[in-house]
A and B are shown apart, each in its own frame.
Chain A
């Protein structure tokens, strides 16, 4: 019984982490045209339980900045343009962001299914008791 409730908790933590991931993806997409913007990459880590070590839940880890070079955009009329007429854009690649968003969606769905399955298993157990 507690195992089923715990798996519900873990699925909820996974959904929360994926929601956070999607938040960073939308932040990256929103700043795709911001000069000098480095895209944010988030990581995941397992949550620590106070007494028994790892608890099995997932937590959003520290957010890192992508170190790839910024794209050089040629626009001599831009206020940030240097002597050659280029300025630093962002290093956001929309294709990568969309793929990341889709991955977050799939992972969210998987967690949702797990949550629903744990709930259904609990309910069918009580259905047995009710007869």
Chain B
């Protein structure tokens, strides 16, 4: 009886190790940081062009182009966020 509980404890310990966070999240974190940076840059560019167009310094074509780029960036980020949230909720709904 004592042996079986110790086996169970050992396999639990193994499972915990396997399910734990991986020790090197640097690559993923760096990629996300870069993504967020480029997203913020695109939005800032769009805002700057919009401001310049309001004051008559920028061409309306540049404004339309910058707005289309920001729209694309926002759509990308929103879609990815939706996917992540959906996956998280899927995990939460898992019967334990």
Chain A residues in contact with chain B, CB under 8 A? Answer: 5, 8-9, 12-13, 15-16, 19, 115, 119, 122-123, 126, 129-130
Contact = CB atoms under 8 A, between A and B. Distances in A.
B59 A130 contact: no
Describe A's contact surface by its main secondary structure.
helix
Contacts of B82: 130
A130 B79 contact: yes
A13 B64 CA distance: 11
13 contacts: A8-B69, A12-B64, A13-B61, A16-B59, A16-B61, A115-B65, A122-B75, A123-B75, A126-B75, A126-B79, A129-B83, A130-B79, A130-B82
B65 to A, nearest CB: 4
A12 B62 contact: yes
B61 A12 contact: yes
A123 B68 CA distance: 11
Contacts of B68: 8, 115, 119
B79 A9 contact: no
A129 B78 CA distance: 11
A129 B79 contact: yes
Contacts of B64: 12, 115
Given A129-B83, A130-B82, A5 B76 contact: no
Contacts of A123: 75
B72 interface: yes
Interface string B50-61: 000000000101
Q: Kindly name the residue among B72, B76, B79 whose own CB sees the greatest number of chain A CB atoms within 10 A.
A: B72
